[in-house]
Structure 1
Amino acid sequence: MPSYSVSAASHRWWNTFSLESTLPLFKSKTICHPCSRALTPALQDAVREGTLWSPYEGLNQLGEAAVPQIPFLGDCSEVATAFAYVMTDMWLGDSDCVSPEIFWSAFGKLYPAFMKKTQQDAQEFLIYVLNELHETLKKYHRRRSYEKRSIPRSCRKMIANESSIITRLFEGQLNYSIICLKCENCTYKNEVFTVLSLPIPSKYECSLQDCLQCFFQQDTLAWDNQIYCSFCETKQETAVKANISKAPKIIVFHLKRFDILGTMKRKLRTDIHYPLTNLDLTPYICPIFRKHPKYNLCAVVNHSGDLDGGHYTAFCKNSVTHAWYNFDDTRVSEIPDTSVQTATAYLLFYSCQPFSIPIQKRKS
């Protein structure tokens, strides 16, 4: 399996793209950062890794005592250890709010841009966090395998390509068919993704399906975008069409609300209608890979404001009670299902299966 990368395809591979160019906004020291909150239901499953254990929200309601005992990752990653503390503090529910300053500080040491008290992008933050957790878990399991000598020497080279709970949950794959419009030769290209950045085809109102259709429609690359054809031995106009060859268990959609054309910058305030249940991805998945064609919404990251200033909040679904909650800095409130649909949605998290309840691993 290829190494999980920050540059994994969150956009179409033939486009020039800069993470910094999107410029949506989060304040670095926000309490309970929305992306972290949106990640917590998914990362409950990290309990199976024996590394990032986080008690779930309903422990007290079920009458179970829970004292977190996190088997941290040694000196592998200060970021992962701090993240585990944040998860534990949030899911134990002992406090009305949790400050992630230790995690933010550790994260900022690796990525100094996030230490600045300037506006940052929630999508960029999400990709960097997932990448860091994946790399840490991979190194941790590689070290444990060497220490236990549990694999033959001839197979140890394969450890470098190990997956992690991050890749098993979030990683998908796109397959592009590339057809030369002169000789009609067809080639294929695979691209790993963790976030799909969807264009918004309408200024005022559209649906998530409209955005998906726009992303997966066939494109013709001409003029400066022509692709080299090995049969014609020159650049030619090319037809390119994508589909999903591997659907992730959790798929994250980034709605491209921030548009930069030359010196002009704007935020698209399109009201995008997205389903809470039964999102059908069948039209976009290769027929032989349609194991999980329908997805249910589990979290939303919202952005209000514009390119010069704004505020992030998150909607998250409790995997035990199935109630929705609004997380707005230090304020947490239950909301009806009808309030989850909002024109400020920026990131959408969909899952094809219900989340399991974490059970702490205990030493025998």
Structure 2
Amino acid sequence: MKYITIFFIVGKICEEILHSSDSSTAKSSTGKRVIERFGFSIFSPDHNKAQICKCVVCGDYKPRLHACLSCIYFGCYDKKHIHQHSEDAKHHLAIDVSYGIIYCFVCGDYVYDSELEELARAQCHRASASLGLKQKFFPWEPSEEELILLRCNPKRRRVTESSHIGLRGLINLGNTCFMNCILQSLAHTPILRDYFMADKHACQANDESQQCLVCEMARLYQEFYSGSRTPYIPYRLLHLVWTNARHLAGYEQQDAHEFLIAALDVLHRHCKEMNGISDSNPHHCNCIIDRIFTGGLQSDVTCKRCNNVSTTIDPIWDISLDLGPGSIHSSHLLPSSTAAASSTAQTSASNTGANDSSNNAVSTPSSLSFASTDFTTNSPSTGFTNSPGNYEPTSLVECLKRFTKTEHLGNSAKIKCSRCHSYQESTKQLTMKKLPIVACFHLKRFEHSTGYHKKISTFVSFPEELDMTPFMSSARCSNGYNGQVLRSHTPNLTCDNKYSLFAVVNHYGTIESGHYTCFIRSLKEQWYRCEDHLIKRATAGEVLNSEGYLLFYHKQVLEYD
């Protein structure tokens, strides 16, 4: 059933019709009476149901169907049936059903009036809200007061070819280059930038002692895009991160990846508190951090005896990719119940130099949990060996191929099959069930093994445009979960799953000491190299030839719920 809602917009009532009304008050009241008497809209599904509007004469329902505002009559414009009705009944106003605009048959044109159009917008808003529909977007139109202010202040600030709006250095507060690189990357994340620049964040915290990191991020964006070129000192933001992530407190060199995950977690928690989401119902967090950075990683464990497949989908904020030959992994995913404890353990193991922050292949938001898997482990050892891969990947795509390749879980990691009801050897494959808007790839360059630590400086190429379609769960072969990934895919899926590179964080030096810099892509598609307070122009070649530690990609096509 289709609910037909006619949103009445009585435009400027023509002089021919209202020639007897001399005052604007009379004109306005006449127009409103026309609305109240003849315009109608549906405010609930139980009101005025109709499958479709049709022309009374020919039964046509195609575009340009008009409804008379003086009686209940529908007529098509192209075949002049509504015109004939106007001549016969002397009804001079009709509304276009598709666009809600008023046609006057006396002057032969569509007519408009700002006051009545505003009334129509309010009516449209009420009707959509009552039906649970999304609100129609109306472009900004300055009010009379705003027009006066604009006329009194004719000088405008415009972005020109020589403008450097959004570019601003950050002062190093003492081994805080890791933080500066992450802040630069977040400040130039397009959709996150648009959110904060549109003043979407409305803090509801009443206690000043509980300062909001989201408010400080909003202030950071205002500072970045204020036009000032003086390096900014992010001391308040650093203090808030220290307050909310104690393991990062201090002036020792920290890991940029660890800081990114900690910052996202604090932002997520503050957004959740602002939106009134309780910890007892973590599944429905719809904060801006989860909307942008959270993806869904699907893990399929297949029993080698009966081919039963156990599937788990977990939320992720980034994907960590191994670079060394072979691939001995620890657990790829953190159960929500142990995420906080694991985070603490990881921190204590990596607080020297620029150490790697995690041995996990995927970083999982600690406050989110999805459906739990229906198998149990027989051994506390959750490691498994990537038997096919005894090589070092040389590109991001190769890393992703190895990440999504079927891997044999060894005899020491048998899984209790829900169908066999016994512990059996199995295979495991990871694929992307849901892609985030911003995908962050963490190249695991810091290796911690028993007795030694080292940095992997292998060059790994990465593209400016990345297609994630081959690594989606939907791209797997349908005949028997054989671990292969379809390489042929439809053009529309390819378009929807394409990403563009917009930030790269690099680490120079050794695992004991080093320095972080980053490349960011500005509003005008120009690349810049950021090194604390220094910013200089760079080329795409310099970006793609850099070592790469954290790679930030933005989705080209956005889906709207």
Q: What's the TM-score once normalised by structure 2's chain length?
A: 0.49
* Partner of residue 266, structure 1: 454
Of 295, 304, 310 in structure 2, the residue corresponding to residue 187 of structure 1 is 310
Q: Is the 8 A contact 1:270 1:343 kept in 2?
A: no
Q: Does 1:303 align with 2:514?
A: no
Structure 1 position 254 matched with structure 2 position 427: no
- Over 3 Å counting, the alpha-carbon distance change for 1:28 and 1:109 in structure 2 is farther
Match of 2:181 in 1: 34
Residue in 1 aligned with 2:535?
A: 332
Look up the match of 1:15. Answer: none
* More contact order relative to length (CA 8 Å, sep ≥ 6): 1
Measure, in 1, the Cα distance between the counterparts of 2:443 and 2:178.
24
Cα displacement (A) at 1:97:
1.4
The whole-number CA distance in structure 2 between the counterparts of 1:275 and 1:223 is 38
Q: How does 1:325-364 map to 2 (within 5 A)?
A: 325-353=528-556
| Partner AA of 1:47 in structure 2 | F
Q: Which moved more, 1:210-219 or 1:197-206?
A: 197-206
Aligned residue number for residue 46 of structure 1? 195
Q: Distance in 1 between matches of 2:414 and 2:429?
A: 14
Residue type of the alignment partner of 2:469:
T
Amino acid at match of 2:195: A
1:280 and 2:467 aligned = yes
- How far off its partner does 1:50 sit? 3.7
Inter-CA distance 285–205: structure 2 relative to 1 (3 Å threshold): closer
The letter for the 1-side match of 2:545 is: T
Deviations, residues 6-62 of structure 1 (Å, cap 9, x unaligned): xxxxxxxxxxxxxxxxxxxx965349710111011222132387444xxxxxxxxxx
Per-residue deviation, 1:299: 0.5
Residue 335 to residue 48, structure 1, CA distance change in 2 (3 Å): closer
1:92, 1:322 → 2: CA distance?
19
Distance 1:236 1:323 in 2: 54
The aligned counterpart of 2:388 is none
The structure in which a higher percent of residues are strand is 1
User: Cα 1:224–1:45, aligned 2, differ >3 Å: closer, same or farther?
Assistant: farther
Query: Would you say how many aligned residue pairs link Structure 1 and Structure 2?
Result: 298
1:141 aligns with 2:265: no
Q: Matched residues in 2 for 1:329 and 1:240: separation?
A: 42
Distance 1:183 1:176, change over 3 A: same
Which of 104, 111, 114 does residue 248 from structure 2 map onto?
114
1:98 corresponds to 2:302: no
| Structure 1 position 199, deviation (Å) | 1.4
Amino acid at match of 1:269: S
Q: Deviations over 1:173-230 (max 9, x none)?
A: 0111111112222111111111000112568771111111111110111122222223
1:219-274 per-residue CA deviation (whole Å, 9 max, x = no partner) reads: 11112222222333333211011111111111000001111121121111011111
**Cα distance, 1:179–1:27 mapped onto 2, change above 3 Å:** farther
TM-score, normalising length: structure 1: 0.74
Are residues 113 and 171 of structure 1, via their aligned partners in 2, closer, same or farther at CA, if it must alter by over 3 Å? same
- What CA distance in whole angstroms lies between the structure 2 residues aligned with 1:28 and 1:223? 45
Moved more, 200-209 or 115-124: 200-209
Amino acid at match of 2:414: Q
Partner Cα distance (2:556, 2:241) in 1: 30
**Counterpart code for 2:187:** T
Matched residue, 2:32: none
**C-alpha distance in 2 between matches for 1:27 and 1:204:** 35
* Cα contact 1:49–1:165 (8 A) shared by 2: no
SS at match of 1:332: strand
Question: 1:28, 1:116 within 8 Å by CA — same for their partners in 2?
Answer: no
2:431 matched to 1:243?
Answer: yes
Which residue identity is paired with 1:313?
A: T
For the pair 1:212 / 2:346, whether they are aligned, the reply is: no
Aligned residue in 2 for 1:196: 319
**Contact conserved, 1:179 with 1:239, CA < 8 A, in 2?**
yes
**Conservation of the 8 A alpha-carbon contact between 2:447 and 2:454:** yes
**Ranges in structure 2 where 5+ consecutive residues have no aligned partner:** 1-172, 326-390, 476-491
Q: Deviations over 1:260-300 (max 9, x none)?
A: 121121111011111112x1111111338947221110101
TM superposition shift of 1:78: 3.0
Instruction: Render the CA deviation track for 1:324-355: whole Å, top value 9, x for unaligned.
Output: 01110110011111111134210000011289
* Alignment CA distance shift 1:348-1:280 (3 Å): same
Give unpaired runs (5+ residues) of structure 1: 1-25, 53-70, 144-156, 356-364
Aligned partners of 2:525 and 2:510: how far apart in 1?
Answer: 32
| AA matched with 1:282 | T
1:91 & 1:280 partners in 2: Cα distance?
31
1:59-84 alpha-carbon deviations (Å, 9 max, x no partner) = xxxxxxxxxxxx54534643222222
In structure 2, the residue corresponding to 1:105 is in which secondary structure?
Answer: helix
Secondary structure of residue in 2 paired with 1:44 = helix
Q: For residues 142-181 of structure 1, what are the alpha-carbon distances to aligned partners after superposition, in whole Å with 9 as ceiling and x for unaligned?
A: 38xxxxxxxxxxxxx9798231111111111011111111
Structure (1 or 2) with the larger CA radius of gyration: 2
